[in-house]
Chains A and B, each alone.
Chain A
Amino acid sequence: MTPDAEVVVSTGEAVVFWVLGPVALAGALGMVFSRSAVHSALWLVNTMLALGVFYVVQSAPFLGAVQIIVYTGAIMILFLFVLMLVGRDSSDSVVETLRGQRVAAAVLGVGFAGLVGAGIARATQDLPVAATSAAQAERNIPAIAELLFTRYLLAFEVTSALLITAAVGAMVLAHVEREPGSRQSQKELSRARFLTSDRPQTPSGPGVYARANSVAAPALLPDGRADGSTVATGVEPQEVEQMPRPTGREQLGNPDAALGTLDGTPSGTPGGRAGGEHR
């Protein structure tokens, strides 16, 4: 640090600071004070984007890009994923568990911010801005790469071990092990169904063979009776007019017409009408 170095930053940077500094502060405060966790995450994204711009302004374009890609792009999305898994409604309770804890925390925070802020401001008020030429600013990424792969090579390699450990740890923690044999096979399921109930087939849905498919219309059994057990619970069963039941060959009509495949003229029988409607 040379004593005659420039202390004051440029006006453009000051403008950026005074615009984005309050934005970052508002994001941080909004994160702490918003009741919904999703809102907290979005406020934090706000702060992180502002910090990313600060990095770019302070001649660290690589870190600015990494901040926006890794923090706001990856980490906050991970937070939102977990929020959605845990449940969006798991907001904080308003009840204080420890009495007076919030007031104490606020007092502590104001005191800490005052002490540290004032101390830093006094200690670094003539912190020089090292003159970075345009060529140096352009060489930001090569300079980082040079240092990263020479002086900080060991730390860089250890980082890979850390990352693989974190990935394995997350998989182990998030994995749910089913006990072997706890999952019933198709055979066991069908055996249970046939042995325990007197009605092995699947229950018919409401409205089957009736003229309505409403949940209030009971299904009709093959002999024409209404099956009350198919009506949804909590609904008053309706008396539904049922389709005329074909009794003989004449009423069934032409089987081809009933299928609706061969001749296009709809016959007057119920089966034929269904085929015609289908077309």
Chain B
Amino acid sequence: MTLSYYLVLAAILFTIGAVGVLVRRNAIVVFMCVELMLNSVNLTLVTFARATGTVDGQIMAFFVMVVAAAEVVVGLAIIMSIYRTRRSASVDDANLLKY
């Protein structure tokens, strides 16, 4: 087993997350799929950091985590306020900007 196994696993996880974003209609689940994609990219960064023997990749993964935390806070607040006005968390119901 080589390090590329980790990278292939990360690619598959990323793809599953992307398919989830396309398929699911619940805004919160779509958000979770985005989180999965971020996580898989983190796995790639950590793996490359190990391959190069430095910790730069780990620091990048760390920053990704920080930004993801901030993004989740704001995104969930937006979903909450949409739910409050439209009484629905489905991405199909937030269509006021549709032509």
Contacts and interface: CB of A to CB of B under 8 A. Distances in A.
Contacts of B20: 31-32
Interface stretch (A8-16, A185-193, A200-208, A238-246): A8-16
Given A47-B39, A60-B49, A132-B53, A54 B6 contact: yes
A138 interface: no
Contacts of A130: 50-53
A121 B5 CA distance: 7
Contact of A125 (B2, B29, B92): B2
| Interface size range of chain A in the complex | 35 or more
A113 interface: yes
Contacts of B22: 101, 105, 108-109
Identify which of B7, B8, B22, B55 gathers the most chain A CB atoms within 10 Å of its CB.
B55
B12 to A, nearest CB: 5
A113 B40 CA distance: 13
A221 interface: no
Given A32-B16, A173-B74, A75 B69 contact: yes
Nearest to A25: B12
A131 B59 CA distance: 19
Interface stretch (A144-152, A210-218, A251-259, A263-271): A144-152
Nearest to B83: A86
Contact of B89 (A67, A90, A116): A90
* Main SS at interface, chain A: helix
B9 interface: yes
Interface in B15-48: 15-20, 22-26, 28-29, 31-33, 35-36, 39, 42-43, 46-47
B32 A78 contact: no
A24 interface: yes
Interface string A50-75: 01001100111011001100110011
A170 B92 contact: no
B63 A159 contact: yes
9 contacts: A9-B1, A17-B5, A60-B49, A63-B58, A93-B90, A113-B11, A121-B4, A131-B53, A147-B55
Interface of B: 1-9, 11-20, 22-26, 28-29, 31-33, 35-36, 39, 42-43, 46-47, 49-53, 55-56, 58-59, 61-63, 65-74, 76-81, 83-84, 88-90, 92
Closest 6 A/B residue pairs (Cβ): A130-B53, A166-B70, A109-B19, A173-B77, A113-B15, A105-B22
Interface of A: 1, 7-9, 13-14, 17-18, 21, 24-25, 28-29, 31-32, 37, 40-41, 44, 47-48, 51, 54-55, 58-60, 62-63, 66-67, 70-71, 74-75, 78-79, 82-83, 85-87, 90-93, 97, 101-102, 105-106, 108-109, 112-113, 116-117, 120-121, 124-132, 140, 143-144, 147-148, 152, 155, 159, 162-163, 165-167, 169-170, 173-174, 176
